[in-house]
Amino acid sequence: MTLTAFVGGRLFTGYETLAGRALVVEDELVRDIADTAPAGATRIEVAHDHLIVPGFIDLQVNGGGGVLFNDSPDVATIRAIGAAHRRFGTTGFLPTLISDRPERLAAGLAAARDAIAARVPGALGIHVEGPFISRAKRGVHAAAALRTPSGDEIAAISKPNGGVTLLTVAPEVVPPETIAALAGAGVRVFLGHSDANAATVRVALDAGACGFTHLYNAMSALGSRAPGMVGAALADRESWCGLIVDGHHVDPTALKIAIGVKPRGKCVLVTDAMPPVGAARLSFELYGETLTVKDGRVVTSDGTLAGAALDMATAVRNTMSLLDVARDEALRMASAYPADALGLGHRLGRLLPGYRADIAVLDAGLNVTQTWIGGAG
């Protein structure tokens, strides 16, 4: 048994901020929130103006540290991406495979399973974003890779991997009976990259879809007589919506509307991060084309947005500064709410007894100074 006590800093549990308390960790789990550090515990002294918070959870991470999951969908790549994002407070993530060939999809699914088995720090499963999406709303996804799912692909995606499988589909491409089968197998089905009307979206939600991938981006817009996917997402009380708060993907006013309309807890921060996050190099290859970070935007040669150069700590700060969201709520949008969206809210995303000790320490400017995953620093 290893007993550790975090003392000195203020503690944000996911529900409230406490001062003068000790966060007691036993091995991988939070054991207690105590008045003092227990005898025999290793003390970790945190500066009084620093904040001890639940580590961030990112549902959509294409790359980081100079590597892209699609390029080499293997355990080493997942490990490298996790290490890059951990510097910015992310202690749980879904490596995200965007639309690609069937053999690349199979490799990504196998890599996620192997990463979970190998206990790669932070790896929670996989997000398969496409290829079962709309050509009209494909964004940077390669048109040649798009397709309707085969029975074998549905079976492979439905196979348990020891973690979470999140699948983004367009409901005009994947029928409701397939969505129901996926959801019944435990897959978290999100909707996105879609030109579907609101009625089609409603049918998909009723079939078992439970969220929306990067709300507003690459989906049918809200109109006065055609609510589209955006309108259906905002009107639905139960589903989660991923938000990219980088100041480029969505106008802050539109994001404020989403946060104001959706029930509390249903908007989650995602990065949609690409390889430049945590790397010195600002360009990389995707589908044989060079993409570059320009003025904070990841773009193709024609200026099309292609993921983001965003980390979760910056997303939290942006949510506060651009959207006028209070600090504690912005932190929940990066930790507790994503955990809930993945069905993991009973053990991740909060610092409470029985939860995994995934911890980030933030300085007064909400910059990450240290992280622990399962109690390991």
Q: pLDDT per residue over 13-68, tens digit each?
A: 999 999 999 999 999 999 999 999 999 999 999 999 999 999 999 999 999 999 99
* 60 close to 271: Cβ distance less than 8 angstroms: yes
Tell if the pTM clears 0.85, that is, is over it: yes
Which token pair is 366? Answer: 């909400």
- Please, which residues bridge with residue 295 across strands? none
**Catalytic positions:** 272
Q: By CB neighbour count within 10 A (0-12 exposed, 13-18 middle, 19+ buried), where does 72 fall?
A: middle
User: Can you give the pLDDT at residue 186?
Assistant: 98
DSSP H or E stretch at residue 316: helix 312-323
Domains and CATH numbers, the chain: 3-53+353-372 (2.30.40.10), 56-341 (3.20.20.140)
Q: By CB neighbour count within 10 A (0-12 exposed, 13-18 middle, 19+ buried), where does 206 fall?
A: exposed
Q: pLDDT per residue over 182-216, tens digit each?
A: 999 999 999 999 999 999 999 999 999 999 999 99
d(CA 1, CA 355) in angstroms, rounded, equals: 16
User: Can you give the pLDDT at residue 303?
Assistant: 86
Q: How many secondary structure helices (H) and strands (E) does the chain include? A: 10, 23
